[in-house]
Amino acid sequence: MSTPLFNHITIIGPGLIGSSILRRIQKDRSIAKTSTAYDIDPKVCDRVRVLKIADQVVNDPEEAVQTADCVVLSVPVGAMGSVTKEITPYMKKGSILIDTGSTKASVINAIKPYLTENMTYVPSHPMAGTEFSGPDAGYDTLFENHWCLLTPTEDSTPESIEKITKFWQMMGANIRCLEVKHHDKVCAIISHLPHLLAFTICNTVNHLSEETRTEVLDYAAPSFRDFTRIASSDPTMWRDVFINNRKALLEMLARFTEDTQAMAKAIRWQDGEYITDTIVQARKIRKSIVDDK
């Protein structure tokens, strides 16, 4: 067998994303010879042991990282800074730290103060996921044919960027490097705003009178079910994403609100041409997204 990309990888937070990485490593040992998992929640550690998706599961962050040559942080974005503070004093010389956080400026700012000269850091964001969370939700093909966006900083050496590019390619992903602010703006419109709308529309239903609400829930049309699938997503993860990418998200929400108001005006004035044009344009965009897949 050829030399694996990494000798030893540690996953901190083996939930949906982390457990998918572990499963892929089990399937393809040219990614890493051995893997370790650590989670703040002992129940998650126990579950990972039962699932047998890591070579070693430990309940101590120091023990988790000390022999790893790559450490992956797949915890909610609001926990990235505190976890980094706990582990970096114990990371070995020449190791690489990566995160999988959905927001990048806030995560980089949270991690940066705790980096040591022992390590390099490559921020990354796999653009793959589901509405489920926890170690049972992961699967080894989660990243297959999805984008993984890297936002290197001055703490990312060319060698570490090359290695992490290879790592995500071995996970099945396609790679792009983006500037940090641009990443956060793009993700605000394509991922964070849709989640905000899905959570909100479910609550709008909830605020309706008892009689109407029951009917809506009973007769929920496929369109409502499709549109709200992502409202089943994890509250902690999305609370953290909204708060940590608030500037870009609020800007996109303001633009969306303007467009919604324009549509409302067209409906009030029965401006069929505006309504048709908007729908025709939207269909084109939707088609280009689906055709790109």
Q: Which residues bind ligand NAP (CB under 6 A)?
A: 12-13, 15-18, 39-41, 44, 74-77, 79, 82-83, 100-102, 125-126, 129, 133-134, 234, 236-237, 241
What is the rounded CA–CA span in Å between residue 36 and residue 166? 20
Name the minimum Å distance from CB 241 to ligand NAP.
Answer: 6
Q: Assign 10 to helix, strand or coil.
A: strand
Name the minimum Å distance from CB 168 to ligand NAP.
Answer: 12
Q: Is 3 exposed, middle or buried (0-12, 13-18, 19+ CB in 10 A)?
A: exposed
Nearer to ligand NAP, 57 or 83 (CB): 83
Run of H or E residues at 174: strand 174-177
Name the minimum Å distance from CB 191 to ligand NAP.
Answer: 8
Nearer to ligand NAP, 95 or 100 (CB): 100
Nearer to ligand NAP, 26 or 157 (CB): 26
Amino acid at the residue 50 = V
Nearer to ligand NAP, 125 or 183 (CB): 125
DSSP assignment letter at 54 = S
What is the rounded CA–CA span in Å between residue 68 and residue 70? 5
Name the minimum Å distance from CB 75 to ligand NAP.
Answer: 4
Run of H or E residues at 37: strand 32-38
Q: Provide CB contacts within 8 A for 290, sequence distance 6+.
A: none
Nearer to ligand NAP, 208 or 289 (CB): 289
Dihedrals phi, psi of 204, to nearest 5 degrees: -65, -40
Nearer to ligand NAP, 131 or 271 (CB): 131
Name the minimum Å distance from CB 78 to ligand NAP.
Answer: 8
Name the minimum Å distance from CB 132 to ligand NAP.
Answer: 8
Beta bridge partners of 229: none
